[in-house]
Amino acid sequence: MPSLLKLHRLKLTALFLAANLGLLLYLAAGDLKGFDEWVWLDILGEGGSALLALVWIGLLLKSRPAGRVTNLLALGLGAVFFSWWIDCLDEFIRLPDSVHWDHWLESAPMPVGLVLLTLGIYHWHREQLAISAQMEKRERLFREHRLFDKLTPLGGADYLRRQLEISLAGASEENRPLSLAILDLDDFGAINRRFGHAEGDHLLQSLTQLLLLNLRRQDLLCRLAGDRFVVLLPDTGETQARQIADELALAVRHFAHKTRQQGERLQLNATMAVVMAVQDSPESLLERLNQALARAKSPRLARSA
């Protein structure tokens, strides 16, 4: 995160200079008010607003890469902050009646800032539409970042359960098939032990991209736990689900993942299983799915025993 803030050094410096310039102008032209002249309600209201605008700028710059949308939002918020900051200064510094520029300094940046913010939010909205299109196979019209796993980032088990509840209700109402496929990497623990946990993490991230590329628009990929992924397949019967599962297993077998340190190619295999929903609750369907996976794994485990 600090590296993201570094990207915005210029904007932060400009904001710092503008705020100080305003302060110096006020100090040069006016006199400090005595403590007994301070109006605490105004100081809290105006100073608090300026402080909040600074927090918004910080959060914005910490979470976004540089670019047009960030520039518009940061400039807009910067102008709003400046307006509130100048508004706050006259609580501490009294300017003579002959001074008129303070009204300009206080009022002019606000509408400019709001116009820039509006433009920024408009372009942000367009950017979000593009991002949402990319996220379709991870979210299916429901975003709740707390339920997303940070590594991949896919929805976790709770997210899957919620989505399953909605999809099962829809499928039984409209009498449409719905299936689940589960994928579990073989011997992932050994990769962790041999190449380290960080390499294992990197592999899970790459694998996520690979699986997403091999799915249809309407499918939803979630990470159930560790190296175990589940795909929710709407409008899909068992035969088609099996075909999709076979394609995913094949993609994993052909995936030429290279380790970051030595560039060594890892030979990957995955065990897959599918179930089709038949009057199931999310829990019973997931239970059946786990049992199907255990059955699919058992010949392999028997061989390695």
Ligand X SMILES: Nc1nc2c(ncn2[C@@H]2O[C@H](COP(=O)(O)OP(=O)(O)OP(=O)(O)O)[C@@H](O)[C@H]2O)c(=O)[nH]1
Which residues contribute to the site for ligand X (CB under 6 A)? Answer: 151, 184-189, 192, 197, 200-201, 204, 226-227
* CB closer to ligand X, 83 vs 271: 271
d(CA 171, CA 163) in angstroms, rounded, equals: 12
What SS3 state is found at 94? strand
Alpha helices in the chain (DSSP H): 2-7, 9-29, 40-42, 48-63, 68-89, 101-107, 109-139, 157-174, 188-195, 197-213, 238-254, 282-304
Per-residue burial over 286-301, b = 16 or more CB atoms within 10 Å of its CB, e = otherwise: bebbbebbeebeeeee
Question: Shortest distance, CB of residue 269 to ligand X, whole angstroms?
Answer: 9
* CB closer to ligand X, 25 vs 183: 183
* CB closer to ligand X, 127 vs 149: 149
Question: Shortest distance, CB of residue 188 to ligand X, whole angstroms?
Answer: 3
Give the residue closest to ligand X by C-beta. 200
* CB closer to ligand X, 85 vs 188: 188
* CB closer to ligand X, 169 vs 294: 294
Question: Shortest distance, CB of residue 286 to ligand X, whole angstroms?
Answer: 16
Question: Shortest distance, CB of residue 197 to ligand X, whole angstroms?
Answer: 4
* CB closer to ligand X, 125 vs 197: 197
Q: Answer whether 219's CB lies under 8 Å from 154's CB.
A: no
d(CA 285, CA 165) in angstroms, rounded, equals: 10
d(CA 235, CA 238) in angstroms, rounded, equals: 10
* CB closer to ligand X, 32 vs 250: 250
d(CA 197, CA 301) in angstroms, rounded, equals: 23
| DSSP letter for each residue of 157-218 | HHHHHHHHHHHHHHHHHHT--EEEEEEEETTHHHHHHHH-HHHHHHHHHHHHHHHHHTS-TT
Question: Shortest distance, CB of residue 145 to ligand X, whole angstroms?
Answer: 18
Question: Shortest distance, CB of residue 295 to ligand X, whole angstroms?
Answer: 13
Q: Is the dihedral of CA 8, 51, 145, 127 positive or negative?
A: negative
